[in-house]
Structure 1
Amino acid sequence: MGLATTHITVNAGNETGPLPHDWRFFGYDECNYTYTPEGRRMLERFSKLGDAPYYVRTHFMFCNGSCTGTQKFGSTNLYHEDAHGDPMYDFTYIDLILDTILNSGNKPYVELGFMPEDLADPSFRNNPWLGGLDPYRESGWTYPPKDYHRWHDFIRTVAQHLAERYGSEEADTWYFELWNEPDIFYWSGTGEDYCTLFDFTEQALHAVLPNARLGGPTCTGIFDQGGGRDLMQTFLEHCKTGTNAATNATGTRLDFITFHVKGAEFPRDANASKAVPSVGNLVYQVESGVELIEAAGFGNLEIVLSEADPDTWAAGGINDNANMRFRDTEYYASFVACAYQRIAEIALRYGAPIHPLAWAFVFPQEECFPATRTFATQDIVKPVFRAFDMLSRLGSHALELTSDCAANPARERELDRDYGIATPHHYSGFGAPTIVSGWAARDDAGQVQVLLYSHCDDIDVHEKRSVELRITGLQPERQYRMQHWRIDHDHSNAHTQWVEEGKPKYPAGEQYHRIKAADALESLGPEETIAADNKGTATLRFTMPTHAVSLLTFELQ
């Protein structure tokens, strides 16, 4: 019995509009990792991609602490109050973080949070459950301000510093976002408290930087029920018709809308049974959020999915839950390509940009390939970064692409009923289909690019299928130089080489160099010359494993 065949057609003569590179966003919890040697090198990798700059978001920019990076925390000691309660500012670490991002060739996505210790409502010190723990480190940074007017002055001072140091024209190219996930433990106030915080933040920021982009409410997934949906509804209603706490006017300026989407939830569980992320679950959340936003009267406003990931816990690894094994492999690359392409389809229907932001970076000094959610481990690039490398090579003019193996939303709804894919707690992937689709584009020089992915949510499905790629609209009877780049188990995959080397925790010497050499973007085969027939059509056939990403480029000779 032969391989199943997927038929894909690209019309190189039919530009369907612009192809915005809406995926040029990433972020991470630990702001102090930004300027470490590993962090700088990771930022530089993104800045060297063809569609740079990328927007960089990080947590804990306003927090107090040791100013030393640790997992899931960071600090800058930006704000203190003296013995008389007067403000004292130290921009040393804020400047270092922003300078590092800018000097790398990227752009800041400034998360305005969390609460400086001396600005926080002091009731956080009275938590009886903390015992001898540091009450600020444990929860104080999540509290509302003790005085919203002091918060207003704080934000205005920060904005003034940014305007003076970087210039308002530069700051106007950044994104500013208030807080992170205020519908869960990151915010100890109410939804109404968050709206008040937004009012004072908006008034203070735009008093100094009137053209700056400010967004919110950066809540968690928009499900049928839950805190994320409730907060989004409360926030949008407030911005549209509520009384502005800072000005007493009706409504509050909102430049873009943010929320998070995740495809799974993997808690700490050393004995966890098999579970996998779900592209359908993630897409379901995006669609639910867009529907809610349109119903609230904010349709066509730019959306940033300021954490858009296969799962919820970036710092956890394979020793915490074996199901995180996918992060080091080609599965993560095919998941991102599949999810982002489907988000792009939603954005096209919605009529405005939807930017997925990958919440992944580096963890310095970690063991090699521990399955944390990172783009590199010990300076060895993972396959998921190579997916961004491929995406960056797409041109800016979209071409028509059709596939007979594209996603089937109706089938996903059936899986949802049977296996609960819209509930990210435990999905085994059983019965999940393999989806094969992608993008086609042309750049300004006339080169045609076709990026294809094959993805199945079930990580243990290892099949091959034949792909028949038919390209029409080429110049009749002309020859094209074709290159085919591939990410799969055997290509552009340092993890595979690491396994072959015996899974060393800290590879060194020639062993390290062999693993490192395998992280480059790799061709599936040598460059070829293909010829279009007298109707301007060329047909190619090749195989794709279940989890793979291909980039084919066609340049007229």
Structure 2
Amino acid sequence: MIRVPAEPVGRFSDAWRACVGTGRIELALRRDYQDSLALLRRDIGFRHIRGHGLLSDGMGVHRPYDHEGGRRVHHSFTYVDQVLDAYLELGIRPFLELGFMPSELASGDRTVFWWRGNVTPPRDHREWAALVRATLTHLVDRYGLDEVRTWPVEVWNEPNLPDFWEHADERAYHRLYEITAHTVKDVDAGLQVGGPAISPGADDWLDRFAEFAEHRDVPVDFVSKHAYTSGPAQHVPFGVHQTLAPAAGLLDQFATPRERLKGTRLAGLPVHITEFNSSYRPDNPVHDTAFHAAYLAPVLASGGDLVDSFSYWTFSDMFEEAGVPTALFHGGFGLLTHRQVRKPAYHLYAFMARTGPDLLARGDDHLVTRHPDGRVTVLAWAPVDPTGETPGPDRHVLRLSVPVGGPEVFVRRSTVDEERGNAYTTWRRMGSPRSPKAGQLDVLHEASEPARGHHRLPVREGRAALDLTLARHEVTLVELTPLTDETPPWWDEGRLLGREAS
């Protein structure tokens, strides 16, 4: 039995909910998107949201025109205002990503994604700077300086990949970053700007980014990168399969920026993992499974020790980089499918939202925290085999001695696994309907409810013995609340049908 310490070993970081990812932000104009985000805000409470496409053509910001024999540019914020108003009304702030390039400003026609985000440098850096200045000035005017100072400004997305930045031209990115960062600071020195938002496997970019920033005296307020653990895509129609490295590989990637930037001017800056997941593909069925929740649990439990935020990519399956999804469950990144069907990973996050600020214990299969009111939470997960060579153990046993107050505790347990809280399993049994009918959607929402149980445990010498047996790929949250029994002395369960007292 594991004896949980009675005194906290530290504060438990909630960096796991500092930010969440989204498909291009233009999607926020849609009802299903806003309904989904409202559900996440209620159950999880993410503070920031980051997505591509703020300056892409679909948002209509950069609007050149000819007038009196010359080219002029009008900056329009009609959609930007609607998107950001929707975010703020839901209680979530933007984590601004500046990109992609408006086609009328782009130096080339190379694009990425089904929705064709332009990934070429600006053909006129002064016009790019004017676009950045106009955008941030508008945001400050509309939302107030104190508010916009809380919105990090990230320059571009994964410039180390030619799919996202033409030729992965590092020198061109540094030039873009320098111009952009100085422009941001010209608007207000208190605005927070950073990068380089690199993908996994390009950590040498961090070294050179630090050298460039110091040599050119360029503003950098935070460092950002991405983390994924999947191998090359094995394509099937409308989907992929991939190998996975152990989830510890994500934590290793989280740790990289601070390790590599020691001794540089960027040492000690906030580090934001602005995208992370197992697979980097929006059509990998692993995202829909209970395996995925159990796989990610240790990352959420420990990632805050390494970075200031790590942003799950993404909150919803409303996501069109590979095209419009062809089925309700299609391997999308989302914690939610379209129509707000919750996946097991959603419940992992919702369970995390019920943990406390005081860290009591943490291990390979558990996280124990305490709330100020004395309530203790135990998040536990069954081990997984990321190689896919085995399905993982049928059962996993965890025994804890938990410090709690009172003579008894009320125990509330919430669970998801292969069978419970798992709409994906139900959908497969239903015949995998691509567009479920209303009645089928009702069944799927019902199936997505976690299993719940309640009982009482005795407390002896300030401790409760908690014995947990977890099913394959189970994630469970157990909440132990000290109770005071207010049952009146005359209550007799045996007299419910009017029998005389024995």
- TM norm structure 1: 0.78
- Which of 460, 475, 482 is 1:556 aligned to? 482
RMSD: 2.5
* Runs of 5+ consecutive residues of structure 1 not aligned to the other structure: 1-6, 65-74, 128-133, 244-250, 318-323, 407-436
**Does the alignment pair 1:341 with 2:301?**
yes
Distance in structure 2 (CA, Å) of the matches to 1:196 and 1:327: 37
Amino acid across the alignment from 2:373? A
Amino acid across the alignment from 1:207? D
| Deviation by residue 1:144-189 (Cα, 9 ceiling, x = unmatched) | 2222222222211111100111111111222211100001121126
Distance in structure 2 (CA, Å) of the matches to 1:58 and 1:482: 39
Task: Summarize the Cα distance change of 1:8–1:98 in structure 2 as closer, same or farther, 3 Å threshold.
Answer: farther
Distance in structure 2 (CA, Å) of the matches to 1:359 and 1:548: 22
Checking the alignment, whether the CA contact within 8 Å between 1:266 and 1:312 is kept in structure 2 is no
* Runs of 5+ consecutive residues of structure 2 not aligned to the other structure: 319-323, 484-502
User: What does residue 388 of structure 1 align with?
Assistant: 349
Amino acid across the alignment from 1:14? E
Tell me the CA shift for residue 385 of structure 1.
Answer: 0.9
**Does the alignment pair 1:328 with 2:305?**
no
**Does the alignment pair 1:33 with 2:27?**
yes
Distance in structure 2 (CA, Å) of the matches to 1:306 and 1:120: 25
| Deviation by residue 1:201-238 (Cα, 9 ceiling, x = unmatched) | 122212223222222000011x4xxxx22322211111
Tell me the CA shift for residue 297 of structure 1.
Answer: 4.7
User: What does residue 466 of structure 2 align with?
Assistant: 540
Which has the higher mean CA deviation after the structures are superposed, 75-84 or 372-381?
Answer: 372-381
Tell me the CA shift for residue 138 of structure 1.
Answer: 9.2
Distance in structure 1 (CA, Å) of the matches to 2:423 and 2:94: 30
Matched residue SS, 2:82: helix
Matched residue SS, 1:452: strand
**Does the alignment pair 1:76 with 2:54?**
no
| Deviation by residue 1:431-459 (Cα, 9 ceiling, x = unmatched) | xxxxxx23221223221111112231144
| Deviation by residue 1:87-122 (Cα, 9 ceiling, x = unmatched) | 11111111122122112221111111111222222x
User: What does residue 191 of structure 1 align with?
Assistant: 170
Tell me the CA shift for residue 276 of structure 1.
Answer: 3.5
Matched residue SS, 2:4: strand
Tell me the CA shift for residue 343 of structure 1.
Answer: 2.2
Amino acid across the alignment from 1:187? W
Checking the alignment, whether the CA contact within 8 Å between 2:292 and 2:344 is kept in structure 1 is yes
Checking the alignment, whether the CA contact within 8 Å between 1:466 and 1:541 is kept in structure 2 is no
Amino acid across the alignment from 1:261? A
- Which of 145, 149, 153 is 2:126 aligned to? 149
User: What does residue 17 of structure 1 align with?
Assistant: 10
Amino acid across the alignment from 2:393? E
Distance in structure 1 (CA, Å) of the matches to 2:402 and 2:241: 47
Checking the alignment, whether the CA contact within 8 Å between 1:57 and 1:111 is kept in structure 2 is yes
User: What does residue 111 of structure 1 align with?
Assistant: 97
Checking the alignment, whether the CA contact within 8 Å between 1:14 and 1:400 is kept in structure 2 is no
User: What does residue 261 of structure 1 align with?
Assistant: 227
Distance in structure 2 (CA, Å) of the matches to 1:32 and 1:255: 27
Q: Describe how 1:305-454 pairs up with structure 2 within 5 A.
A: 305-314=273-282, 317=283, 324-345=284-305, 347=306, 353-363=308-318, 366-379=326-339, 380-401=341-362, 403=363, 406=364, 437-454=365-382
User: What does residue 422 of structure 1 align with?
Assistant: none
Distance in structure 2 (CA, Å) of the matches to 1:507 and 1:392: 30
Distance in structure 2 (CA, Å) of the matches to 1:140 and 1:103: 27
Amino acid across the alignment from 1:112? L
Distance in structure 2 (CA, Å) of the matches to 1:502 and 1:190: 47
- Which of 192, 196, 205 is 1:217 aligned to? 196
Task: Summarize the Cα distance change of 1:35–1:471 in structure 2 as closer, same or farther, 3 Å threshold.
Answer: farther
Q: Describe how 1:272-311 pairs up with structure 2 within 5 A.
A: 275-311=243-279
Amino acid across the alignment from 2:31? P
Tell me the CA shift for residue 344 of structure 1.
Answer: 3.1
- Which of 24, 38, 48 is 1:44 aligned to? 38
| Deviation by residue 1:471-529 (Cα, 9 ceiling, x = unmatched) | 34323x62111111111112211112222323222222433212211112331x3x111
Matched residue SS, 1:42: helix
- Which of 421, 426, 433 is 1:504 aligned to? 433
Task: Summarize the Cα distance change of 1:190–1:179 in structure 2 as closer, same or farther, 3 Å threshold.
Answer: same
Matched residue SS, 2:60: coil
Distance in structure 1 (CA, Å) of the matches to 2:10 and 2:393: 35
Task: Summarize the Cα distance change of 1:375–1:292 in structure 2 as closer, same or farther, 3 Å threshold.
Answer: same
Checking the alignment, whether the CA contact within 8 Å between 1:110 and 1:174 is kept in structure 2 is yes
What's the % identity of the aligned pairs? 21
User: What does residue 417 of structure 1 align with?
Assistant: none
Distance in structure 1 (CA, Å) of the matches to 2:394 and 2:11: 33
Task: Summarize the Cα distance change of 1:495–1:210 in structure 2 as closer, same or farther, 3 Å threshold.
Answer: same
Aligned residues: 467
Amino acid across the alignment from 2:208? T
User: What does residue 145 of structure 2 align with?
Assistant: 168
Tell me the CA shift for residue 386 of structure 1.
Answer: 1.0
Tell me the CA shift for residue 365 of structure 1.
Answer: 6.6
Amino acid across the alignment from 2:231? E
Matched residue SS, 2:7: strand
Amino acid across the alignment from 1:235? F
